[in-house]
Structure 1
Amino acid sequence: MSHEEAALSAPPHVTDDDWRILCDRFSSDSFQRDSVTGQESGPVDLYKGTHCRQATGSWVHPRAGEIWAAMDTLRNQSTPDGTQRSEPEILSEVLGTRSGYVCGLGHGAKLMAPARAASTRSIVVGESATRRVDIAEKEVQQLRVVVHDIREQLER
């Protein structure tokens, strides 16, 4: 989806002005490139960029720092066969997946190879159950707002 297409498709609970600001921010070179190397940021660095406050270096939530640390550790580890995991594999392993959706990559994203670290996977499974509950609670809240909006429209 192009920047222009994204800017025209604001979610129902975000104002058009706020959505344009977000689209401009996320498509800017300063957001998409590593400030130190000038290279395009990968998904792991983008996670940090969206969950760590630039001014203070503090995480928006303590759990976000733990998640990023797990991703950074996997990124710096070699697999048993001596290769590096791809960043999409790292996101999938740490954040989990659900049918047709890879966290951090969106719908329709495909991983080229399954995650390989069984020891890390066992740690992530417990965390992913908690994460799934959090996601489900957020989705329920969003659906309540949508139902409320629809009821208001029907009453009008």
Structure 2
Amino acid sequence: MQDQFDLDYTRHEDVRTVVETMMTARRTHRNRMHAYFKKFPSKEAALLKPHPDTTEEQWKELCDLFTSEAFMKRSEQNKKNRSKLTVNHAAGSRSFQRTRACMKNQESGNINPAELYKKNYTNKDGIWTSEGAREIYERMDAFQRKCDLEGKTYTEIEVYSEILGKKSGYVRGLGRAVKPPPSSTLTTQSSDLQHQLAKARDEIEAMRAAREKDLQEFAKKQAEMEATLRDHREEQRVEQERIRLEQEERMKREQERMRIEHEERIQLEQERMRKEQERLRAEISKELEKKMSSVMEKKMSDMSKRLFSQFGGSKR
């Protein structure tokens, strides 16, 4: 229960609610056991097959209770009382308080009284348990619409008290844990609620205006950031383009320098080879001249010798 409700056990109302909830759970369990007991033709037959959720000792105590004169008399009287009811709920074992908590708006904490009543008095297919229940729902819905048109606030306790009337100590249709407020305080509470509602509306409006202002400032800052980002991207693009052009120009200059150096090396090599060829040609020419001179000298010497031999020999 503490997982679903904020309970303060120092408050009498919270303690009473817990006790009544536990008593309801006990009655529900006992009714379930009684329904199982009635399936058997006799107490002896029931004792032979205890309910799965009980021990044999617990089941024997329950069987003794169900066959006691006081229980049977009270059960018969309750049956007669239920037969007189014109409106029956369809909530089953779920308490009205549990349904009430589940239907509470998580943001506002409000409950639609008519829809709460409809939840408890229609089955899972949305069919009313009786025509009387449907008529009560329509009266509640009409009462709420009237209050809305007149600008009046209301709670489920006030609506239920107005339409269903009050029972001593609790509000009809909401369970015994909900106590009706004193009649003299309803008008005061309604006025206080209207004042609180107006104050809440003003606060909400102020919060909405502040939020709108924050959104506008955020949108402005976002636009400025986007513009700055665009400028930064453009600067990056320009810088990258400049770097690319510089690199291309540097590469062109480097290629031109390498081409010129290559051509100069080729020219130097060609000049060196030309000079080397001229040197070799000159050396070859000199060598040929020497050889030719030597050959000529030898021939001249040989010729002189032959002439001398011829002419000198004939004189003798």
Q: If the length of structure 2 is used for normalisation, what is the TM-score?
A: 0.27
Higher relative contact order (CA 8 A, sep 6+): 1
Q: If the length of structure 1 is used for normalisation, what is the TM-score?
A: 0.49
Question: Higher helix share goes to which structure?
Answer: 2
